[in-house]
Structure 1
Amino acid sequence: MRGRFDNLRRIEALDPDADHLAIHRLTLTEEFPWDMRMAFNLAFNRSFALPRVARQLVATGAILRAPRKRADDTGIIMYEILLHGTESARGKLAIRRLNGAHQGFALDNGDSIYVVAALVVIPMRWLRRYGWRRPCANEQEAAAVFYRRVGRLMGVRDLPDRYADFEAYLEQYERAHLHPTPEAAQIERTTRDLLRGRIPARLRGAADSLIGALYDEPLRAAYDVPRPPLWARAGLHTALRVRALLLRWFARPRTTPLFADGIVTKSYPDGYDLAHVGSAPTSRTATPATGTPTEPAPERSPSA
């Protein structure tokens, strides 16, 4: 289709080091908006399965008490950084909110590298399997540069340099550290409802089998989730591949970027003040774009 690969040509002409923000923003907001949000969910789910992370999350209880709000807060903060960049005033505020949300956690540096690696690698793996086109090398390297920078601003040390290094780290770390724990199983049961909401209503009766099919074998083992029946695995894979082919050959290129009207979530239907995202609710609402009170923006996207 005319124009279908214009963004790809733009991305391939950019430098993934100097232009990592522009590349990664295009990948999320124009090329693969649904796929990237789904993959971000799976990337965060993966980090929750780490034994030390799972124990701390259960001990604090926040993710168990309000999983939707925690997911919305995390999505807002990460998307704000991606939309505005780490050097902008809004991006710097989002980084402060991100660091504030992790205060009180005794984070292991190896676990922290793994969390960053999951954000780099899991979305690219999803796109290679289910995207309407495969991600190009510049998209993979831009993701590595972007999240390495975010990780450093969070105080994470010894981060890998390139995409291949992140992927190798993720695979090695999983072999050594990803194993079942009662806490991880408890988190999976709580957060499963968020993934159920992404399944079409007519398929909700098969939601648990389909969610299990979204997980790969290492993640199913870590969460102690049984392997779903063949019909669920084959059906999900076939449906996602058919969707990819339809998008590739028949869908028109997106003309309005994702989040063009702001980030609206179920937890903040009337907008939010970024300075308070992740804190106790306040009566003041704000637009994601300006930080000033506003009428609610139309819902254009679920959060991560």
Structure 2
Amino acid sequence: MKRFERFQAIQQLDPIRDTCTICRQLAGYEFPWDITRALEVALFRTFCVPSIATLLDRTAEFHHRSQKRYDDTGLMVSLILQWGYDTPKGQAVIQRMNQIHGHFPISNYDFVYVLSTFIYEPVRWIERFGWRPLSESEKQALFHFWVNVGKQMEIQDIPNTYAELEQYNLEYEREHFQYSEANQRVGKSTLKLFLSWFPLPLRPLIQPFVYAIMDDRILQAFGFPSPQPWQRRLLEHMLRSRGNLLRYFPPRQTPNFYSDEPQRSYPQGYDLTDLGPPHMLPKLNQSKP
């Protein structure tokens, strides 16, 4: 298969009817690394909202079990992309998410915003750093995929079009992104988690580049310091260079989902019932995914 053959095949699919197939191709074959990084940025963005950060701060999940909380979120998102929202396995994951969220007083407005980040952060990341841009059909497929997931989560009043939900996303951030101590505590715990993946001597060198991937609104909402301009330029150059080089690599022949990778929190493997705060939730009769 040549580099653009899969892209050409995707363009023959319908973004509504074939949304699960398209999103599986994007997440598993075309942009697995980029979508994972984009969803990490999305995670940070949601913590810039005091109502969301206060809830997470109060549960202390990101303070005491940050790796598990990260892995659980990554696994559930990845499993839905891998299996689709319209299969028994995908629906079991959504059921598990609904169980977890049902324990917390989360507003519908916050739900809609968080859902929107799963669409627009990957789109924005790939537009900046991907080895090729997304087509309009692919963007629509991402929109319809996550809107359908949102409906199965019983999220109400989701805007009806890609443009309307994007506008909601932007307006929500303008209105709700603001500094709070809860934001900062959750942001610092998440930053500490990310840095823990690197050798200890390298962490002080890497930390400014984590700041560099954040825009000014994120930094202000966390009370984080601004990186040096050269650090942002260097990071963007490296990410764009990676995308440009990938154009010359052969296409991926086997899918690479986050859910297929070894998990730090589950070195012996996991059941779907392991995901989420274990002391809160009833067990499901679910085999390993």
CA distance in 2, matches of 1:260, 1:120: 17
| Pairwise CA distance, 1:221 | 1.7
1:116-160 CA distance string (max 9 Å, x none): 111110110000000011111111111111111111111211112
1:150-176 CA distance string (max 9 Å, x none): 111112111122322222111111111
1:13-66 CA distance string (max 9 Å, x none): 111111111111111110111111000111122112211011111111112111
Residue in structure 2 matched with residue 216 of structure 1 by the alignment: 215
* Equivalent AA in structure 1 for residue 45 of structure 2: R
1:158-216 CA distance string (max 9 Å, x none): 11223222221111111111111110011110001333356799954322210111111
* Equivalent AA in structure 2 for residue 232 of structure 1: Q
CA distance in 1, matches of 2:97, 2:219: 28
Residue in structure 1 matched with residue 278 of structure 2 by the alignment: 280
Is 2:32–2:257's contact at 8 Å kept on the other side of the alignment? no
Residue in structure 1 matched with residue 8 of structure 2 by the alignment: 9
**Any stretches of 5+ residues in structure 1 without a counterpart?**
282-287, 293-304
| Pairwise CA distance, 1:270 | 1.5
CA distance in 1, matches of 2:193, 2:136: 31
Identity %: 34
CA distance in 1, matches of 2:192, 2:20: 32
| Pairwise CA distance, 1:76 | 1.1
Is 1:51–1:184's contact at 8 Å kept on the other side of the alignment? yes
| Pairwise CA distance, 1:244 | 1.0
**Secondary structure of 1:13 counterpart:** coil
Residue in structure 2 matched with residue 120 of structure 1 by the alignment: 119
Q: How is 1:101-116 mapped onto 2 (pairs within 5 angstroms)?
A: 101-116=100-115
- Whether 2:284 is the aligned partner of 1:291: answer no
CA distance in 2, matches of 1:197, 1:139: 34
Q: Which moved more, 1:194-203 or 1:260-269?
A: 194-203
Is 2:212–2:231's contact at 8 Å kept on the other side of the alignment? yes
- Per chain length, whose mean CA-contact separation is higher, i.e. which structure has more relative contact order (CA < 8 Å, sep 6+)? 2
Match of residue 268, structure 2, among 267, 270, 288 = 270
* Equivalent AA in structure 2 for residue 115 of structure 1: V
CA distance in 2, matches of 1:243, 1:202: 25
Residue in structure 2 matched with residue 142 of structure 1 by the alignment: 141
Shift in alpha-carbon separation, 1:81–1:246, aligned structure 2, 3 A: same
**Secondary structure of 2:11 counterpart:** helix
Shift in alpha-carbon separation, 1:260–1:126, aligned structure 2, 3 A: closer
* Equivalent AA in structure 2 for residue 34 of structure 1: W
- Whether 2:256 is the aligned partner of 1:251: answer no
**Any stretches of 5+ residues in structure 2 without a counterpart?**
280-285
Residue in structure 1 matched with residue 185 of structure 2 by the alignment: 186
Shift in alpha-carbon separation, 1:101–1:245, aligned structure 2, 3 A: same
Matched residues, number: 283
Is 1:144–1:161's contact at 8 Å kept on the other side of the alignment? no
CA distance in 2, matches of 1:66, 1:149: 30
| Pairwise CA distance, 1:230 | 1.4
Shift in alpha-carbon separation, 1:129–1:200, aligned structure 2, 3 A: farther
Is 1:39–1:122's contact at 8 Å kept on the other side of the alignment? yes
* Equivalent AA in structure 2 for residue 222 of structure 1: A
TM-score (norm 1): 0.87
CA distance in 1, matches of 2:44, 2:36: 12
* Equivalent AA in structure 1 for residue 150 of structure 2: G
Q: Which moved more, 1:174-183 or 1:80-89?
A: 80-89
Is 2:79–2:259's contact at 8 Å kept on the other side of the alignment? no
Is 2:52–2:110's contact at 8 Å kept on the other side of the alignment? yes
Residue in structure 1 matched with residue 174 of structure 2 by the alignment: 175
Residue in structure 2 matched with residue 18 of structure 1 by the alignment: 17
Residue in structure 1 matched with residue 165 of structure 2 by the alignment: 166
Residue in structure 1 matched with residue 282 of structure 2 by the alignment: none
Shift in alpha-carbon separation, 1:21–1:213, aligned structure 2, 3 A: same
* Equivalent AA in structure 1 for residue 252 of structure 2: R
Shift in alpha-carbon separation, 1:268–1:260, aligned structure 2, 3 A: closer
* Equivalent AA in structure 2 for residue 111 of structure 1: D
TM-score (norm 2): 0.91
